[in-house]
Each structure stands twice: as structure tokens, then as C-alpha cells.
Structure 1
Amino acid sequence: MLAPVVMCAVTYMAAASPARADELTGTLKKIRDDGVVVLGVREASIPFSYWDGGRTVGYSQTIALAIVDEIRKALGLPHLRVREVTITSANRFPMLVNNQIDFECGSTTHTHERENVAAFSNTFFQYAVRMITRKNAGITDFPDLAGKAVVTTAGTSDERLLRQLNSDKQLNMRIASVKDHADAFAAVKSDRAVAFVMDEPILYGFRATDAHPDDFIVTGTPLGLESYACMFRKGDAPFRDLVNGVISRMQTSGEAERLYNVWFTQPIPPHGINLNYPLSPEMRALFAHPNDKALD
């Protein structure tokens, strides 16, 4: 079911004459010189970029592979190798800056502050920041977390929002920041924390793939609206234009909406769970008018 989606994502891409080696700069030159594109991937950002037991799959992983295919065309290297490197919320920026990955399209939030460190593509997803908690915990909104143990993922924009809320509202939450999303949800399941604060679609992903999804609810007045984008090194206009060309064509052609429906409204691997997360009006507007604006 997934392979045809990847194929469809790249069939409409405009044919380009391969760039001459002496014309290349930045990331495209590095990829051609190395003979490999190094793609940063996530282990547990369901349904964006995650390991299904056999390979990395997901909504944004499919976009990343479409970009890789366009790189192959631009460089005239149809057999260009792809090496996947697992990244976390905490190490993704150093790994990019230190040339350990060439780019990533996972679940990285585009913020104005982060533009000091990395460059960001056109947005491929917009979402709210909320929380997941046990249905019987009696928690419906963020003030209910006062004095309680709460978990989030280290190195995320959500951590900053949560700590700011804690300070502004003097909630005295005991906030723990853990390595990755799976560790954070595990803390809620083991009752080490009453809530996991994160991007809404990721929370729906964990709820849907849990053995007892009805035990959990996603709730809370959104702490903010944010956007995901692919991330690559600053000052690289040719690579930015290539990436944005792929994303824009997917969105305006209708392919992005079809891809969205595969990952958010239909059963997904490895267990065939449906997130039942329909396309929002904001996402529909984004597909009609692609842009690279941070929402913070």
C-alpha cells in the first residue's frame, strides 16, 4: 500500500537537466562528492517518521523520499544511495550543523528562534500543542496539572511552551524532559506522570497505537499553533529551492492531501490502526497556498 504512494509523490516532478559538477555548491555538492544522501529520521514520531519494524515510514518520511528522488534527478545520479541516521529532538540540530545529516523531514517545528541555527522549508504540517492523559485522571485542561508530574520531550518547542506556562501561571508542575516521544508516553502509561504535553497529531498517534486506546484522551486548550517543516543547513539557496519545489508541487497538485489521507484517515503500519485525524481547514489552506512562515 505504501510503495504506490511514494511513486505517486514523485511522478509529477518536473524533469530537470542534471547540474554540472562545477556548478554545485552546499548540500548538493556534498551529496555528489560523497555519493550518498544522509537523511535524518525519527524512531517514534508516529505517523510522521517512525520505525514500523522493517523500515522507516510515515507522512513526512514519504515527503523526504520524494525530495531524495528530486536530488537524484538534479544530480543525474539515479542510483544515489540513501543512508538513514536516527536523530532525536535533542541532537538533531547539532547533527545537522556538524554535517552528520544532510536534511530531515520528521516532526521538527519551525520557529523564528531556530532560524538562527538552521534553515526551514515550506511548511508541510500545522498543528496545536495539547496533552494526553488517562481518561480517569480527571484532567481536562492545563490548570488541572497544578502541582502534578508532567512530562514532555527534551529539546522541543513544546518544552519551552510548557515551562513558560508553568512560570506565568505559577502552576508548580513537576516537569520532566525525556529523550524521545516514546519515553514520554511510557511515563504516562506507568503513572510516573499524569500528562504528556506534545504536538497534537503525535499524541493521537500514540493513543491510536496503544493496546488500550480508550484509556487515554487528548485534551487541553491549545498552548499554541505551530508548524512542521523540513530542516537543512542555512545559506543554501539551491537546496532550499529544490526542497520547496517538491513540497509546493505536492501540495498544489493534490498529492499532499492524498498522502495525508493515507497516514491520518486510514489504517497505518505496523498494526493497521486508524488515527481518524481529518484534514483541518488550516491544512487545506496551506496546501492551496504553500509558504515557509513560522507560526510562533
Structure 2
Amino acid sequence: MRMITKLLGAAIAAIIISPSLMAAELTGTLKKIKESGTITVGHRDSSIPFSYIADASGMPIGYSQDIQLRIIEAIRKELDLPNLKVKYNLITAQNRIPLVQNGTVDLECGSTTNNAERAQQVDFSVGIFEASTRLLSKKDSVYQDFDNLKGRNVVTTAGGTSERLLKSMNAEKQMGMNIISGKDIGESFQMLESGRAVAFMQDDALLAGERAKARNPGEWAVTGTAQSQDMYGCMMRKGDEPFKKVVDNTIRAIFSSGDINAIYDKWFNQPIPPKGLNLNFPMSPELKELIANPVDKPAPVATL
């Protein structure tokens, strides 16, 4: 009888302490979040319509932010943290990878392209968007494609995929372009709109966002031969498989449930803040394929 009592007591004790044991078994980012009660997410301030600030509240909104909020909710449930705090950390194209690497930012869902070079530094979720690198220029100008840009001022965004592609094209084809790099997408468009550049190279969806907020959207056109097909993903620290699993499973659930269609329509086919303009940007066949078959492989090498 005494032996049975001891065994029963041990079993009850195991049940009682199992939650703390489970917590102790957490590693990496999930452990960090559980212990601190806070998740720090990165956001951009002008990557319309993916991650941007539209009003004085300073809170980021956008297509990628809606996906990020769903991931945060999944983490809240996974860790049983109903009062999980969310800290927003403004990032730029230049500092986004270092801030993820050094632990300042736990997760970044914005407009970051998954490519081979970056995949050596951070991990990416399954893709959340497909974009093509093209041009924004005046609808009635002669600068409608890359071959027309020889010897001209062309703007792009510092630290992004388009900057690297444009510089490579300029060198390999000896085009003599004067490449201007804005600190972010908003500044790059300001340079175009003010006449300091004749064209702006960037991902087509981001260019559609800048066109929508222009003083006269009808003056501008997204044009030019696509120079790459880029897949956006959410960034996280490298080698943290348990955290990546939660992120990937959440994105896959958004895709398989069909919820992604409402999120896409909200940001690309309906009026959006701050001006209530519609990007009128239909979902591409490439994005439909990604939704049907999610992958986290780096984007293919660009065609120059």
C-alpha cells in the first residue's frame, strides 16, 4: 500500500511540474519570448502596402503586418501568454538583418527578399509574397524600359535587392547611369517625383504603392522588363527551428484556409490609408502558385 501511495504521489508530482518542465525545454526565440513576456517585431515606415506608418499613432499597418499579427497570435497561444506584449522596432533596409541577428528584433515581416546571400545570415519563413523588379516613370516619358536609361539619373533604395541589380547592370552593360540611392522607399520616390531622377527601380508592388500616394497618380506608370522575380519572407534568427516551425505553420494555415485572399484584397484591391487610394494590383500567377505550394527557398538569380 505504501509503495502504491509513493507511485501515485510521483505521478501527481510529474503532472504538476510538467508545465514548468515544458517551459524549461524551450530554446532560442520562444524561450526568450516566454521569459520576457515580450516579442519584438521589426517594421518599415514607408513600404506601402506591406509595412508602413499611415498616421500620427506611429503604429505600422499593411499586408505583411496583418500576417505578422497572425503569427504573434499563434505564438501567444503556443506559449500560453495571453498578456504577451508586442514591441515594435523601426528598421531600415540597411539595418534589418543585423537587428535580427543580434537579437534586437525577433521577427520581421515586411518587404524583405529571400535570396541566397541573406539566407546565409538569417532564416526566412515560407514566402508571403512574389514581386518583380521593374521601373516607375512618367507615363508619357521615353524612360519606359532599362535600355532607355543610359546616361540618366536613376533612383533606387539603399541596401535593397534593386540597388545591387541596378549597379550590376550598369557595370556589365556599361550604361553610364548615375545611380542615386534613397535611404528608404519614400525618399526614393520623392527624388523621382521632384525630377532628380527619370526612373525609380524597385519591386513592382512597392512601386504601385508609391504611385498611389503621388500628388497625381495618373502621371506615373509601372513599366519595364522584369529584372528578377523576388519572394518576400519573414526574417528570424538562423537555426531556430522551433520558432520557424510556428511561423511557417501559421503562414501555411493562412494560405490553406483562404484567409490570404481577404488580406490581399484589403491591401491591393481596396482603398488604403493614408489617402484612400486603390493600388488596383491583381494577384499574380506567381503568388497564386506560392500560396498553393509554400516554399522557403531563396529567390532565383536575377536576369540582367
Query: Once structures 1 and 2 are overlaid, which stretch shifts more, 277-286 or 111-120?
Result: 277-286
| 1:4 alignment counterpart | none
Computed over aligned residues only, the root mean square deviation of the Cα atoms, in angstroms, reads 1.3
* 1:251 aligned onto 2:255: yes
Q: Distance in 1 between matches of 2:66 and 2:83?
A: 18
The 3-state SS of whatever aligns with 1:210 is: coil
Deviations, residues 61-117 of structure 1 (Å, cap 9, x unaligned)? 000011011111111101100010100001101111111111100000000111111
Deviations, residues 218-264 of structure 1 (Å, cap 9, x unaligned)? 11100111110000000100011000000001111111122111110
Q: Distance in 2 between matches of 1:232 and 1:151?
A: 29
| Of 202, 209, 226, the match for 2:213 | 209
Q: Distance in 1 between matches of 2:20 and 2:208?
A: 42
Q: Distance in 1 between matches of 2:285 and 2:44?
A: 27
Contact 2:113–2:299 under 8 Å retained in 1: no
| Of 264, 270, 280, the match for 2:268 | 264
Contact 1:38–1:85 under 8 Å retained in 2: yes
Instruction: Give the gaps of 5 or more residues in structure 1.
Output: 1-16
| 2:189 alignment counterpart | 185
Q: Distance in 1 between matches of 2:199 and 2:251?
A: 34
| 1:36 alignment counterpart | 38
| 1:230 alignment counterpart | 234
* 1:157 aligned onto 2:161: yes
| 1:49 alignment counterpart | 51
The 3-state SS of whatever aligns with 2:274 is: coil
Amino acid at match of 1:91: N
Q: Distance in 2 between matches of 1:185 and 1:87?
A: 19
- Counterparts of residues 276-295 of structure 1 (less than 5 Å): 276-295=280-299
Cα offset for 1:295? 2.0
Cα offset for 1:272? 1.2
Cα offset for 1:288? 1.1
Q: Distance in 1 between matches of 2:207 and 2:235?
A: 22
| 1:22 alignment counterpart | 24
Distance 1:108 1:18, change over 3 A: farther
| Of 96, 106, 116, the match for 2:100 | 96
| 2:67 alignment counterpart | 63
The 3-state SS of whatever aligns with 1:82 is: strand
Deviations, residues 109-129 of structure 1 (Å, cap 9, x unaligned)? 000111111000000100110
Deviations, residues 103-159 of structure 1 (Å, cap 9, x unaligned)? 100000000111111000000100110011122332111011100111111111111
Amino acid at match of 1:154: A
- Counterparts of residues 91-170 of structure 1 (less than 5 Å): 91-170=95-174
Identical-pair percentage: 45
The 3-state SS of whatever aligns with 2:125 is: strand
Instruction: Give the gaps of 5 or more residues in structure 2.
Output: 1-18
Q: Distance in 1 between matches of 2:110 and 2:269?
A: 19
Using the size of structure 1 for normalisation, the TM-score is: 0.92
Amino acid at match of 1:198: Q
Contact 1:18–1:74 under 8 Å retained in 2: no
Q: Distance in 2 between matches of 1:114 and 1:82?
A: 25
| 2:3 alignment counterpart | none
